[in-house]
Amino acid sequence: MSAQKKILIVDDGKENVSFFNIMLSKYGYEIYCAETEQAALELIRTAAPDIVLLDGALAQASDWSFLKRLKHDAGFDAWKDIPVIAFSASASIYDKYKAVQLGALDFITKPVSFEDMLMRLRLFFEKQDKRKNSASAERKLKTLLSGVLSDMDVLAGAGPSCPADELKRLKDSYAEKLDEMDFSDVKLLEQNGKKKYTD
């Protein structure tokens, strides 16, 4: 794991919370717990977790107010992209549909084994890290290419009369930018681009 991931568990069942808290902590996750949706929303602001595990029964009792506020309230714009996985032992197709429609990433039917939950979390965080690396690589390449294009504009404007020292400066600038380019970044972007069309 590249950095300690933060997980917020929203569940009023103390035994469930205690179990997942202890077990997930053993795997290096930083765990936050909330027994009410209001407490969970406060932790969203202060802890900014990487993912939320939401008890579906608790959420259904309030007509999914937690999801509605997190995903659609302007006061939570800075955190609305935090993914939420809901889970419940008793949920109708409609409940599952509503949760996903309101912004839940997934709805898991209980009982959920710890191994299954751990596997889902690991897969999610792996994909999340790849997306972040891809976005970072894209920003870096755009910055470098922008610099190259800027130098080309200068050269085109100068034409044949461009002084020798200016040509040398541009040549050195190109060489420097090429040295800065990590072509593994290009490969990463290429792979991610292909994956978008094959998923």
pLDDT digits (tens, 9 = 90+) for 169-199: 766 776 666 666 555 555 545 555 555 444 4
Burial 50-70 (b: 16+ CB within 10 A, else e): bbbbbbbbbbbeeebebbebb
Confidence band for 154, pLDDT divided at 50, 70 and 90: low
Report field, pTM of the whole predicted structure over 0.75? no
Residue 120 domain-assigned (yes or no) = no
**Which 3 state secondary structure label does DSSP give 179?**
helix
Rounded to an integer, what is the distance from CA 62 to the centroid of its chain?
A: 27
Query: In this structure, are residues 62 and 54 in contact, taking their beta carbons and an 8 Å threshold?
Result: no
Residue 118 domain-assigned (yes or no) = no
Residue 170 domain-assigned (yes or no) = yes
Instruction: State the CATH number of the domain containing residue 45.
Output: 3.40.50.2300
Residue 128 confidence (pLDDT): 81
Residue 93 confidence (pLDDT): 86
Residue 10 confidence (pLDDT): 95
Q: Which domain holds residue 85?
A: 6-112
Residue 124 domain-assigned (yes or no) = no
Q: In total, how many domains does the chain have?
A: 2
Residues 6+ apart with CB under 8 A from 91: 56, 60, 107, 109
| Cα–Cα distance measured from residue 176 to residue 182, given in angstroms and rounded to the nearest whole number | 12
Q: What is the rounded average pLDDT of the residues 28-42?
A: 94
Confidence band for 94, pLDDT divided at 50, 70 and 90: confident
Q: What is the rounded average pLDDT of the residues 65-69?
A: 93
Closest CA to 99 of 88, 108, 107: 107
